[in-house]
Structure 1
Amino acid sequence: MAESFIFSIAESLITKLASHAFQEASRVVGLYDHLRDLKKTLSLVKAVLLDAEQKQEHNHVLREWLRQLKSVFYDAQNVLDEFECQTLRKQVLKDHGTIKDQVSHFFSSSNPLVFRSKMAQQIKDVSKRLDKVATDGQKFGLRIIDVDTRVVHRRDTSRMTHSRVSDSDVIGREHDKEKIIELFMQQNPNDDDKSLSVIPIVGIGGLGKTTLAKFVFNDKRIDECFKLKMWVCVSDDFDINQLVIKIINSVNVNDAPLRQQNLDMVDLEQLQNQLTSKLAGKKFLLVLDDVWNDDRVKWVELRNLLKEGVAAGSKILVTTRIDSIASMMGTVASYKLQNLSPENSLSLFVKWAFKNEGEEEKHPHLVNIGKEIVKKCKGVPLAVRTLGSLLFSKFEANEWEYVRDNEIWNLPQNKDDILPALKLSYDFLPSYLRQCFALFSLYPKDYEFHSVEVARLWEALGVLAPPRKNETPEDVVKQYLDELLSRSFLQDFIDGGTIYQFKIHDLVHDLALFVAKDECLLVNSHVQNIPENIRHLSFAEFSSLGNSFTSKSVAVRSIMIPNGAEGANVEALLNTCVSKFKLLRVLDLRDSTCKTLPRSIGKLKHLRSFSIQNNPNIKRLPNSICKLQNLQFLSVLRCKELEALPKGFRKLICLRHLGITTKQPVLPYTEITNLISLELLSIESCHNMESIFGGVKFPALKALNVAACHSLKSLPLDVINFPELETLTVKDCVNLDLDLWKEHHEEQNPKLRLKYVAFWGLPQLVALPQWLQETANSLRTLIISDCDNLEMLPEWLSTMTNLKVLLIYGCPKLISLPDNIHHLTALEHLHISGCPELCKKCQPHVGEFWSKISHIKDVFIKEPEKLKEEEDE
């Protein structure tokens, strides 16, 4: 329930009211006393909220009181945001306003005297309501607990940072693995038989079907048996076109794992031709993970596409929770995955509850309690792992007993339901993390999350704690993700130094839906209307935008279409937003096809995040968009018809992330350099630009992404003008000379502090640029992909003492690694593919470079025999 994070809402309000900037601004407009009184009342109410959160499960009246209180809190948030909007507008008028602007401001409702009177009344109204609700709460006899003590113990999460499964991390599934592999190795009765063998694994959610499939998928015997391996996550969506696209991309992933073709506009016949060319004559293994489709017509259609030109012995491995689906798809009897034995369950629990192997022997009393906890998990690995993580580094018996004896286990539940175990772990989260976790419900199942996207949403909605001194909001996001990872809420987590990606398990997604149901709604074809209390809307597909908004849906703060609104015209939605959703903070309309934006969009003064990226039609943005002084994130990336940025861009003084595609030959530097808060700048498909920046200073910029700027010849960046730059991505800029970067750079200048560098699709790159050597003490991730003419890696690469990730894809002329690469003791992930000679020399145990890279935890080298076979074909 959403009331489980009401404490964090109160805390954020008090923090804002207590901030020096807010207090100074309130004095200027004469509202200091009003806001001080509001803060006092909030502090009194906040003191009992943690006790109320814990007791609401069994007290309907208390739960309703919290719901009323939350409504007042949100109204208080709106009042404070209104106050901030006025303060920002005043600052913009002072710094950039004309006399005409100032006269217009004086005669508007934002006139200081009118505004003060209006705000004073709103604050009084909120304070009065808050006083009443606070008085009503006295009857519950709540205890004062003013500090949230549910701290998260961070653990070493290094073993959980990639999707491949280490044998040592899988407990109790060796027998299952051997049985599945035995089925794979069975020959078809007739060698000429072109039918596809389909082997289903069936089991309840959280039982480890996907883990077992990965365990099998990565076995050496499977590599020897199948020329081609593909992995596709199916989940709720069984759209044939999209599945074929996923399969094609899964084939392509062997050449460049982080790049995928954009095939969304291709019809099924063209897709079938591409699929056939990829699979023809190859003996393949395809994993279809997490299938829910029970429509046999769709399955037969997909199967027939896959059978075209198939080599004998090809197999499909299916994981599903539903017996009837397994029977429909399988050509052999379903493999029914059983629950873990009590012994294996306890071993798994101990592995996650204690830091070091054997540590449990020092705490036999805790292990005995653990046995009773494990019994309640019913042999479901996800439940065991989650509760083990929950108790990690806790050595007080009462903490373990609390989990064992918690009444949540007695709630009505379905057979083998593990939601109580996950909900219990959620209840132990600090209040500030609960709100962030709940927002995962706005994304579809199997969504691949990227930290930049998550950071934008969390920050735009104000659910992040204010950064401490020398911290950024991205630092806070990383801390939150680390904490969620430590509790096993995240999986397939990849740490790129400054950028992170991850997924969440289907059941964890179900938990997010459960706890966020009063505030967040993922709209699909089954949703008939949108309740008036919903604050965050996400549309699973654009067709569901037809669902009616109620006339009272004024509380909406987020509208998202995470899978894109391709082919959709969103003018009607935009008009609805402007007329109804005046409190909107997040508006994501990626892939839409509207030709214009209404001038009235400038009225959405609370808007913090706006994206219209990938729009193929829009030519201009209204100048009114520059009235959105609260805007922190703006993306017009890949809007290839956009002729120019709007006038007045410098007024967006809160803008932190900006993504640009424009036909302008020169960026409006005087506008952009006034964006003093800008930390991330992406410039893409600006085909008319030959040069960018030219000595302009960006004092706060931390990340720069430049892609598909085909006329670009130089990037004159240096540490003087970019003192905070940490992330650099350069992609598909075929005329760019990276060595020109440092042509005016003097040796005595400070060194670059880049942490993440990626070079993609740069055929002109023969050697890594010399200036990269300056990052020796800071660089953590280096990605080199599709650089056809790269011939060598320099010896100084071995001085990168903090390098954790080195990914090399599609560099066919690269034939060796630096002699001293074994000096990279921090290196954890080394992936090499599309480099035939280099792959041959790096083969495990037999390659000449193997002894120098064998210490690395995660090494993926594409086998040269497979590369050769694919080249011959």
Structure 2
Amino acid sequence: MAEYFVFEIAESLLGKLASNLYEQVSRAFDLYDDVQSFRDTLSIIKDVLLDAEEKKEKKHGLREWLRQIRNVCLDAEDVLDGFECQNLRKQVLKASGTTRMKVNHFFSSSNSLVFRFRMARQIKNVTRRLDKITADGSKFGLERIVIDHSPLQRREMTYSHVDASGVIGREKDKEEIIKILMQPHPNGDGYGDQSVCVIPIVGIGGLGKTTLAKLVFNDNRMDDIFQLKMWVCISDDFDIRQILIKIINSATDPTISVFPQESINNLDIEQLQSRVRHRLSCQKYLLVLDDVWNNNRAKWIELKDLIKVGAVGSKILVTTRSTSIASMMGTVPSYVLEGLSVENCLSLFLKWAFREGEEKEHPYLVDIGKEIVKKCRGVPLALKTSGSSLFSIFDLERWEILRDHELWNRKQQKDDILPSLKLSYDQMPSYLRHCFALFSLYPKDFGFTCAEIANFWATLGLLRSPFGSQKIENVGKLYINELYSRSFLEDFEDFGTVYYFKLHDLVHDLSLYVAKEEFLMVNSHTRSIPEQVRDISVVENDSLRHTVFPKSRGVRTIIFPVDGVGVGSESLLETWIKRYKYLRHLNLSNSSFATLPNSIAKLEHLRALILDKNFKIKRLPNSICRLQNLQKLSLRRCLGLETLPKRLGMLISLRKLYITTKQSILSEDEFASLNHLHTLVFEYCDNLMFLFRGAQAQLPSLEVLIIQSCGKLECLPFHILPKLEVLIVTRCLMLILSLNSEIPIQRLKMKYLHIEQCPQQLALPEWIKAASNTLRTLSILNCHCLEMLPEWLSTMTRLKMLHIVNCPKLFHLPCDLHCLRALEDLIIDGCPELGRKCEPHSGEHWPFIAHIKCVSIGETRKRKLLFQMLSRLGLNCTQ
């Protein structure tokens, strides 16, 4: 099993070729005809790629053909990326180039004549390769399919029967659903829309949503409550005509042949809707819509309008994997199905692995089974799959193999857990699949922040705005929200502008399953890396000694995501720089080399360079400033770094800059040239007293400013930050967050404010009032001197989250806090007296906060999640 993402890559490449930049630059260098020739050939071949993806398992040689197209498309992207590099170099030369720089440019490979010759040769080469592949593809008889994603593979249609005695661990869930079904409509039973209550059951594939719906459907109490019960499996496309036919068939007594199947199929849509409405009219019914994938609200409203003719108390039970579909269809909060308990997991596994009572004869296998069960993470289908594969097998080694090998490496049958989960993957929009597969580069149980993973996707060119010029940071959030709505993410916490989440272990297995010939996570068991792999992560230090890195030139990503794992060999780093000249993302966190080679400037395609936690490096080569494509430069906790490289302002594409330095003064001029800078972070800058003291030039694009452990810093230059939305300040002992009186702020756009361990801050700064219409999240942590919150806090009309942790001298809340109708999440922890006053129902402050949806008083779980999220942001908060 492997996904090649060929269609997505080809589509992205054609999008670039159609842009004004490529047209202008190709004409300027007299390469327009060459580029157009490649574009025309790729346009022809793209239209048959979806058909090829669908048929690759059935036609011999088609998988290799797709691999060749993928490789030539990626190579073409590397070649054509040279246009962007050349354009950026020209911008730098024009803006700030000295005579010496221009002379050096003339004699370099970037010289226009040299560039034109090199590009023409390379473009002709990839065009020749693509032409040959196109000719080879004619023998497969592929058809043109023009849609924006592959045809979906659906699971088989479901039915309502279930043997309840074979279901383990769902009794409580069944009773909860039945309880909801027996209650009146929460919005008041009535006519029309109010006559039907829609209850969604939501969760990832294989969790048992359909089984739970069957248990409810077949419970005898349902026959007493509802005059009519109907089971309709949607599964495939949300076709109104087919759904009406299924409703008629399900609502009809099978012993009475009122409408023969042939005659029903011959009815037109008008006749069908008439029969459905007649059958349901004035009947109190229960309708199960199983396995819904449709997110077209218009279609759902159309169906609902046809069936809302039942008697008061009618109910619709929906099962879906998508939280957004559940929200669209439901009239009550979704029932989010959880995994089974540990005890029930083991019982279910043993039921499928042994005949009844047989497990008592093999206690040593049961012990291994307990370890296998842990990997299934409470998902019944995974337990059934694993248990069934071991049925009647008593060989200890076979059980140990299943225990010690990842699920994604095992051979999967059609109804096994990963093919089941892959239905959700197949249903993704094409642009999201490649992004999802990149999760395979991280270990299980890895905690992500939205900014971190979105930046990774951005540096690989995978973020596409559905609304034109939308910021890539916002596009990244859209992608994360979409994955969350498909039940792929867990432990998901929204802290305002910051998301924190993990992947369910089985979803991580799915990412490995779809990516296992494209991306590779290297560990000590890896002995070689296939040449076709272009994205690599290293998760164990020992693996660098044993692994032979590929000699192909196409590697784009090398990352070290695990704390404590990094590069210690400068020679290995120099080899990578020499060999992988098309690197886009190079994360060398936790490394221990003393110098970064001057040759780093040869990586002209590099978008992200991350050197976090390298404690030996003292200086960076000035050549780093020739990386005009660089979007992210991170030097977090490089505690030995004495100074930043000169001419930092040449990094004109820079959007994210993370700094640790021993400098006491930073040049305003360098930063003033960074017109695209979105995020700026200062950490452990022990000597830094002022940020751009006396600066007048603005940072026009800066939206995120994070200051951590800068012990001598005294003030912040708010007047040069007109678009600041996120401010995080932690452990700055001398900092006072006040304004110079001569520079008042009339209005702020700030959405997220986090203040932690700033002992000079005795009260919240007055300037926060200027953000009364925008502030969404306010976090105050470890402010031991803070004694009161200002009354004007109640003017924060958009405030959704208020987190107050470890402020022991804070005794009161503003009495007008009840005016904050938008406030949804309140955490108060480590504030003994305030916590006592805010106790639900009994505390004197409870009337101020009773309207808030989620109130956490002294709950360590919420606090731990908050600190986990802050840790992923690199903030070491004291718990």
How high is the TM-score relative to the length of structure 2?
Answer: 0.70
SS in 2 for 1:855: coil
- How far apart, in 2, do the equivalents of 1:617 and 1:176 lie? 61
State the partner residue of 1:69. Answer: 69
- How far apart, in 2, do the equivalents of 1:53 and 1:369 lie? 34
SS in 1 for 2:822: coil
Q: Deviations over 1:85-132 (max 9, x none)?
A: 222222222222222222222222222112101111111111121122
Against the structure 1 CA distance between its residues 746 and 344, is the aligned structure 2 distance closer, same or farther, given a 3 Å change threshold? same
State the partner residue of 1:438. Answer: 437
The structure 2 residue matched to 1:816, chosen from 808, 812, 816, is: 812
Asked whether 1:794 is paired with 2:790, we answer: yes
Against the structure 1 CA distance between its residues 573 and 513, is the aligned structure 2 distance closer, same or farther, given a 3 Å change threshold? same
Q: Deviations over 1:522-573 (max 9, x none)?
A: 1112211111111111112222222322452322111111113458524233
- How far apart, in 1, do the equivalents of 2:95 and 2:288 lie? 64
Equivalent position amino acid for 1:818 in 2: P
- How far apart, in 1, do the equivalents of 2:597 and 2:829 lie? 48
Whether the 8 Å contact between 2:205 and 2:421 is mirrored in structure 1 is no
- How far apart, in 2, do the equivalents of 1:7 and 1:830 lie? 45
Report the Cα offset of residue 488 of structure 1: 0.7
Report the Cα offset of residue 151 of structure 1: 12
State the partner residue of 2:742. Answer: 744
Identify the range of structure 1 (466-475 vs 551-560) with the bigger mean alpha-carbon deviation: 466-475
Against the structure 1 CA distance between its residues 523 and 339, is the aligned structure 2 distance closer, same or farther, given a 3 Å change threshold? farther
State the partner residue of 2:578. Answer: 579
- How far apart, in 2, do the equivalents of 1:818 and 1:149 lie? 53
Report the Cα offset of residue 612 of structure 1: 0.8
- How far apart, in 2, do the equivalents of 1:715 and 1:649 lie? 21
Identify the range of structure 1 (611-620 vs 853-862) with the bigger mean alpha-carbon deviation: 853-862
The structure 1 residue matched to 2:321, chosen from 386, 392, 400, is: 386
Equivalent position amino acid for 2:750 in 1: L
- How far apart, in 1, do the equivalents of 2:60 and 2:544 lie? 34
- How far apart, in 2, do the equivalents of 1:172 and 1:59 lie? 46
- How far apart, in 2, do the equivalents of 1:838 and 1:498 lie? 27
The structure 2 residue matched to 1:847, chosen from 826, 843, 850, is: 843
Count of residues in correspondence between the two structures = 660
Asked whether 1:764 is paired with 2:763, we answer: no
SS in 1 for 2:524: coil
Against the structure 1 CA distance between its residues 412 and 565, is the aligned structure 2 distance closer, same or farther, given a 3 Å change threshold? closer
Against the structure 1 CA distance between its residues 642 and 856, is the aligned structure 2 distance closer, same or farther, given a 3 Å change threshold? same
Q: Deviations over 1:248-274 (max 9, x none)?
A: xxxxxxxxxxxxxxxxxxxxxxxxxxx
Matches within 5 A, 1:467-546: 468-546=467-545
Matches within 5 A, 1:314-713: 342-343=214-215, 386=321, 413=412, 417-466=416-465, 468-550=467-549, 552-565=551-564, 569-693=568-692, 694-695=694-695, 696-713=697-714
Identify the range of structure 1 (23-32 vs 614-623) with the bigger mean alpha-carbon deviation: 23-32
State the partner residue of 2:117. Answer: 117
State the partner residue of 2:828. Answer: 832
Whether the 8 Å contact between 2:54 and 2:150 is mirrored in structure 1 is no
Report the Cα offset of residue 51 of structure 1: 2.7
Against the structure 1 CA distance between its residues 627 and 425, is the aligned structure 2 distance closer, same or farther, given a 3 Å change threshold? same
Report the Cα offset of residue 775 of structure 1: 1.0
Asked whether 1:776 is paired with 2:772, we answer: yes
- How far apart, in 2, do the equivalents of 1:533 and 1:69 lie? 12
Asked whether 1:58 is paired with 2:58, we answer: yes
- How far apart, in 2, do the equivalents of 1:566 and 1:2 lie? 28
- How far apart, in 2, do the equivalents of 1:660 and 1:350 lie? 58
- How far apart, in 1, do the equivalents of 2:27 and 2:74 lie? 23
Whether the 8 Å contact between 1:491 and 1:505 is mirrored in structure 2 is yes
Percent of aligned pairs sharing the same letter: 49
- How far apart, in 2, do the equivalents of 1:339 and 1:735 lie? 60
- How far apart, in 2, do the equivalents of 1:351 and 1:674 lie? 59
Equivalent position amino acid for 1:48 in 2: V
Q: Deviations over 1:645-688 (max 9, x none)?
A: 01121111111100011111111221121111111000111121
- How far apart, in 2, do the equivalents of 1:671 and 1:14 lie? 36
SS in 2 for 1:553: coil
- How far apart, in 1, do the equivalents of 2:43 and 2:415 lie? 43
State the partner residue of 1:103. Answer: 103
Asked whether 1:26 is paired with 2:26, we answer: yes
State the partner residue of 1:272. Answer: none
Whether the 8 Å contact between 1:560 and 1:588 is mirrored in structure 2 is yes
- How far apart, in 1, do the equivalents of 2:12 and 2:640 lie? 41
Equivalent position amino acid for 1:586 in 2: H
Against the structure 1 CA distance between its residues 776 and 611, is the aligned structure 2 distance closer, same or farther, given a 3 Å change threshold? same
Against the structure 1 CA distance between its residues 650 and 761, is the aligned structure 2 distance closer, same or farther, given a 3 Å change threshold? same
- How far apart, in 2, do the equivalents of 1:678 and 1:171 lie? 52
- How far apart, in 2, do the equivalents of 1:372 and 1:550 lie? 44
Equivalent position amino acid for 2:845 in 1: F
Against the structure 1 CA distance between its residues 388 and 823, is the aligned structure 2 distance closer, same or farther, given a 3 Å change threshold? closer
Equivalent position amino acid for 1:102 in 2: K
Report the Cα offset of residue 384 of structure 1: 7.1
Against the structure 1 CA distance between its residues 850 and 417, is the aligned structure 2 distance closer, same or farther, given a 3 Å change threshold? farther
- How far apart, in 2, do the equivalents of 1:604 and 1:150 lie? 35
Against the structure 1 CA distance between its residues 388 and 713, is the aligned structure 2 distance closer, same or farther, given a 3 Å change threshold? closer
Report the Cα offset of residue 723 of structure 1: 2.2
Equivalent position amino acid for 2:144 in 1: I
Against the structure 1 CA distance between its residues 21 and 815, is the aligned structure 2 distance closer, same or farther, given a 3 Å change threshold? same
SS in 1 for 2:5: helix
Equivalent position amino acid for 1:451 in 2: C
Whether the 8 Å contact between 1:702 and 1:727 is mirrored in structure 2 is yes
Whether the 8 Å contact between 1:3 and 1:67 is mirrored in structure 2 is no
Identify the range of structure 1 (386-395 vs 459-468) with the bigger mean alpha-carbon deviation: 386-395
Equivalent position amino acid for 1:745 in 2: I
The structure 1 residue matched to 2:799, chosen from 798, 803, 823, is: 803
State the partner residue of 1:224. Answer: none
- How far apart, in 1, do the equivalents of 2:8 and 2:217 lie? 35
Report the Cα offset of residue 847 of structure 1: 1.5
- How far apart, in 1, do the equivalents of 2:232 and 2:484 lie? 18
Equivalent position amino acid for 1:817 in 2: L
Against the structure 1 CA distance between its residues 753 and 385, is the aligned structure 2 distance closer, same or farther, given a 3 Å change threshold? same
- How far apart, in 2, do the equivalents of 1:172 and 1:825 lie? 38
- How far apart, in 2, do the equivalents of 1:32 and 1:592 lie? 44
State the partner residue of 1:220. Answer: none
Report the Cα offset of residue 584 of structure 1: 1.1
Equivalent position amino acid for 2:786 in 1: L
Report the Cα offset of residue 61 of structure 1: 2.5
Against the structure 1 CA distance between its residues 56 and 626, is the aligned structure 2 distance closer, same or farther, given a 3 Å change threshold? same
Report the Cα offset of residue 364 of structure 1: 5.1
Against the structure 1 CA distance between its residues 206 and 470, is the aligned structure 2 distance closer, same or farther, given a 3 Å change threshold? closer
- How far apart, in 1, do the equivalents of 2:740 and 2:467 lie? 34
- How far apart, in 2, do the equivalents of 1:485 and 1:343 lie? 27
Whether the 8 Å contact between 1:843 and 1:861 is mirrored in structure 2 is yes
SS in 1 for 2:501: strand
Q: Deviations over 1:606-660 (max 9, x none)?
A: 1111111112121100111112111110011111211110112111111110001
Report the Cα offset of residue 598 of structure 1: 1.4
State the partner residue of 2:224. Answer: none
SS in 1 for 2:56: helix
- How far apart, in 2, do the equivalents of 1:731 and 1:485 lie? 30
State the partner residue of 2:200. Answer: none
SS in 1 for 2:542: helix
Whether the 8 Å contact between 1:727 and 1:754 is mirrored in structure 2 is yes
State the partner residue of 1:861. Answer: 857
Against the structure 1 CA distance between its residues 764 and 372, is the aligned structure 2 distance closer, same or farther, given a 3 Å change threshold? closer
State the partner residue of 2:397. Answer: none
- How far apart, in 2, do the equivalents of 1:488 and 1:207 lie? 12
- How far apart, in 2, do the equivalents of 1:477 and 1:34 lie? 34
SS in 1 for 2:492: strand
Equivalent position amino acid for 1:29 in 2: F
